[in-house]
């Protein structure tokens, strides 16, 4: 179930979605197994909603893709691993964006300004952009008016700075923007800066917050 925080559907003019866990399904265990096969235990670096260590550096833009791979090799003393081997395992984190979520985005875009705010990295975003948002002749910018990515902004959720950057980049007052994220910490951080927010649990349960035409109706 999603948990309402500060939501007034009548005031919502813009929707801002998280990527991983809300739009795209994730499989951390599959990713862990792929790295296990490389002799790497990635579990200590992947939290419930946020990464740490070398993974955080990758998602905050402090490391590019090659630097990320180099850091994996040095951190785990695996000099024999190629970039391709590491990135192939890293891609196993993402599963798919179900078509019913893509259809909802297209419907909602008739009524709202849509944006994406994600803690992500160049590898996962390229995968999402090129594979998961190719639907019925559409591509990613057919779904969103604005896209905010942590590795481009240089900061991750739940830092207030990322929400300030988003606030400055959107043509709406924060109270007119509804943020949907699977992390209660991220939702609380957004609310602290005046955004409306709702906790969108995994498996697409948040779809029930919209009617058949894509209008947000709340719980």
Answer yes or no: do 12 and 35 share one domain.
Answer: no
Would you say residue 177 lies in a domain? yes
**What distance in Å separates the CA atoms of residue 90 and residue 1, rounded to the nearest whole number?**
29
| Six-digit token string for 34 | 């792929």
Residues 6+ apart with CB under 8 A from 33: 92
For 47, the domain range is 28-93
Residues 158-177 have pLDDT tens digits of 999 999 999 999 999 999 99
Residue 195, domain CATH: 3.40.50.1000
Lowest mean pLDDT among 4-18, 20-34, 153-167, 181-195: 4-18
Other C-beta atoms closer than 10 Å to the C-beta of 2 total 18
Task: Report the pLDDT value the prediction gives residue 1, as an integer from 0 to 100.
Answer: 37
Would you say residue 115 lies in a domain? yes
Task: Report the pLDDT value the prediction gives residue 141, as an integer from 0 to 100.
Answer: 95
Q: Give how many domains the chain has, as a whole number.
A: 2
Task: Report the pLDDT value the prediction gives residue 2, as an integer from 0 to 100.
Answer: 42
Exposure of 43 in the CB half-sphere (CA atoms within 13 A) = 7
Answer yes or no: do 108 and 152 share one domain.
Answer: yes
Please tell me the pTM assigned to this model.
0.93
């Amino acid at each position: 179930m999603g948990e309402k925080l500060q939501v007034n559907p009548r005031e919502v003019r813009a929707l801002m979605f998280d990527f991983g866990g809300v739009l795209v399904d994730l499989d951390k265990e599959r990713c862990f197994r792929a790295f296990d096969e490389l002799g790497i235990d990635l579990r200590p670096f992947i939290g419930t909603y946020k990464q740490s260590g070398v993974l955080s550096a990758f998602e905050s833009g402090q490391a590019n893709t090659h630097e990320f791979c180099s850091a994996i090799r040095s951190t785990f003393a695996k000099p024999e691993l190629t970039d391709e081997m590491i990135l192939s395992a890293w891609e196993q984190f993402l599963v798919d964006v179900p078509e019913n979520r893509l259809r909802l985005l297209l419907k909602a875009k008739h009524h709202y300004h849509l944006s994406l705010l994600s803690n992500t990295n160049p590898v996962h975003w390229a995968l999402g952009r090129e594979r998961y948002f190719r639907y019925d002749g559409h591509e990613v910018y057919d779904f969103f008016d604005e896209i905010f990515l942590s590795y481009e902004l240089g900061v991750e959720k739940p830092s207030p700075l990322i929400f300030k950057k988003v606030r400055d980049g959107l043509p709406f007052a924060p109270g007119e923007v509804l943020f949907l994220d699977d992390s209660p910490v991220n939702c609380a951080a957004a609310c602290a800066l005046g955004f409306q927010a709702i906790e969108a649990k995994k498996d697409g349960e948040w779809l029930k917050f919209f009617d058949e035409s894509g209008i947000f109706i709340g719980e």
